[in-house]
Amino acid sequence: MTPATTRPTITRPMASSAPAAVIDVLNGLLEAELNSVFRFMDEGTPHLSRATADVRRPLAEMVETNRRHSAQLARLIESLGGYPLPRSIRPEEQYLAFLSLKFLLPKLANEKRLTIQRYENALKSLGKTAPPDVTSLLMTHIAEHRRDAEILDRAGAEAAKRK
């Protein structure tokens, strides 16, 4: 035996219960969160800065939720012995700046629904192979995305009424 093979390997306690497929699925969700429109929204978005506080506040929270979800997914991947490696990150969405709230809100609601679908597909594809931490984090995220989608639907309906 060469010294290299006798050297203790880096301990990855959960590696056996977290096959590459789990890491892959989590990286797919991380990629989706990082590419989400919410990551590119900020207070400087003209129509957003003119919106009332009851719209601005939840949207600012959704931007935060997106950051927190990304960080939680990355940490979970690392805790399973994997590397947070999203395949591609899309460039900033410039067109957001040109959308009035009436058009922006339904778009954001739709984005939330797509995200929920991704999470649900991830849970389905993992099935019973998923470690409990993985299932519980994904279910927490789904619940938060659902609540956000409802807020966006309501705000979108209000914005549509006003014009």
Size of the site for Fe ion (CB under 5 A): 2
Kindly report the length of the chain. 163
Please, which residue, 18 or 76, has the CB nearer to Fe ion?
Answer: 76
Please, which residue, 47 or 69, has the CB nearer to Fe ion?
Answer: 69
CB of 142 to Fe ion, least distance (A): 8
Q: Does 112 bind Fe ion (CB under 5 A)?
A: no
Please, which residue, 117 or 129, has the CB nearer to Fe ion?
Answer: 117
Binds Fe ion by CB under 5 A, chosen from 76, 141, 155, 156: 141
CB of 30 to Fe ion, least distance (A): 9
Neighbours of 14 (CB within 10 A): 14
CB 135 within 8 A of CB 123: yes
Please, which residue, 15 or 110, has the CB nearer to Fe ion?
Answer: 110
- Residue with the shortest CB distance to Fe ion: 69
CB 146 within 8 A of CB 120: no
CA geometry: angle 51, 55, 59, nearest 5 deg: 110
Q: Which two tokens stand for residue 69?
A: 């979800």
Q: Please choose, out of 12-20, 88-96, 139-147, 154-162, the segment that lies near Fe ion by the rule CB under 5 A.
A: 139-147
Does the CA dihedral 88-91-95-100 come out positive or negative? positive
CB of 69 to Fe ion, least distance (A): 3
* b (16+ CB within 10 A) / e for 78-112: eebbbebebeeeeeeeeebbebebeebbbebbebb
What is the x/- site pattern for Fe ion, positions 47-86, by CB under 5 A? ----------------------x-----------------
Q: Which residues here bind Fe ion, judged by CB under 5 A?
A: 69, 141
